[in-house]
Structure formats: C-alpha cells, structure tokens
A = this chain, B = another copy of it.
Amino acid sequence: MKQQSAQDRWEQRTQRPLLGLAVAFAVAYAVPIVWPEADREVTSWCTRVEWAVWGLFALDYLVRLVLTERRREFVRTHWLDLCAVLLPLIQPMRLLRLVSTLLLVGQRARMAPQIRLTTYVVGAVVALLMFGSLAVLSVERESPEGNIRTLGDAVWWSFTTMTTVGYGDHAPTTGLGRMIAVGLMLSGIALLGVVTANIAAWFISRFESDDVEERRQTAAIEALAEEVRALRAQVAALSDSASVVAEERLS
C-alpha cells in the first residue's frame, strides 16, 4: 500500500466535518431570506455563522497549503480555492461570500475519491437551484419592478431557468439577479450535457460488443491456435519415430 501523505490524511478526516459546515452555512444563509421579519439577533447570528464557515474553509485551505510538500504547485493547481478565500476580503458583501463558500465546498467535494462526476454535477445543480432561488429572492424582493417576491416564485423561476424552459412569467430585473440567472442557465446546460452523455455512454458501451472487426480477429486467433495444435501433433509423431530409430540403434 502507498503511504498516505499528511495532506491526504487531513483531507480524508476533514471531509465529513466540512460537509456539516456546508449544511450549517445553507441554514444560516436561508433563514434571514425565508423569514425576513426575523429578530435582529437571529439575523446577526446567521451572519456570524456564515463568516465562521467561510473562515473555517479558508483555514482548511491554509492547513492543506502547509501540509503539502510542493507548495508552489499546490497554489498553482488550486488557484480557484485561493480566489474563493480572497474574494470576500476585497469587497465584503453577501453575494461574494455565498459564491466563495460554494466554490470552496465544491472544490473539496470534487476531491473526495468516492464521488463520481455524475453525482458531483447533480449535487452542484441541486445546490445551485437552492442557493440561486434564495439569492434571487433576496436581491429581487428589494427591487421596485421585481416580480420574484415569494420563496415559491423564486424556486419556480429557478426551475424554469435551469431547464431552459423560460416562461417569462417571472424574470430578474436587477443586474445582480441577472448574473445569478446566467449562472443557473449555464449550469442547466451542463446538467443537460451530463444527462445526455451518461445515457449516450451507456448506449454505446452496449453497442460496442457487436464489433465486426474484433469478431474477425477472434476468429483469426482461434484458427491460428488450431494450426499450432496440429503442428504440435506433427512434431510429437516425428519425435516418436526419431526415438524408435535411436532405440533400435542402441539395441
């Protein structure tokens, strides 16, 4: 067995706690949006939880950076994580913190060896649907011409956007809302691609078994094996007659 590096062990052990933190972040993000008339204290606690989760993911990045052997390569291959850590420091606003934490969770999830691409994309799509709905709701509710004002409308709009149906009965009117919408559209296209590719790969893996050229090859190899078996029999007969000669000669 290959010896695990300190970095690998850290990543395996923190996998589950970080997933728990992501759920805590989701709750803390959802509460003030879904329940806008909440107590001031609840809202401020939620903000603190959000920052704490971002901080712990940033800490996780630093620990992995310290534990790794080739630091320069780590920074280069994990540039997206670095951006996600630094982003909310530049301009401390709600939306950037959301994007940062989603990016950090996504990067850690992709690292988990037991998660396949399909699972990853489906998970990302569900997370984007959920956070997209909440983010659009919080942005559009404050806009005077906005037409997305309840959680139900926001979720419904997210679905019509991500499946590229786009009825147009609800549509974002603010710049931020539209940026979120573009994110949902692009993930919808990715989702469609993964669904199609999965079905296609499964179909083709079944078609493959009927390859004509390969069957001809198998037949050719079997004919060759028959030929070699006949040759062995010939050589065995020759060997017998030779030993008869030899024995006679010795007698």
Contact = CB atoms under 8 A, between A and B. Distances in A.
Nearest to A147: B169
Contact of A165 (B166, B208, B216): B166
Interface string A190-224: 11111111111111110111111111111011111
User: Interface residues of A: mostly helix, strand, loop or mixed?
Assistant: helix
B159 A185 contact: yes
A107 interface: no
Given A166-B167, A218-B216, A246-B241, A227 B227 contact: no
A212 B218 CA distance: 12
Nearest to A231: B232
Interface of A: 117, 152, 156, 159-161, 163-169, 171, 175, 178, 181-182, 185-186, 188-205, 207-218, 220-225, 227-232, 234-239, 241-246, 248-250
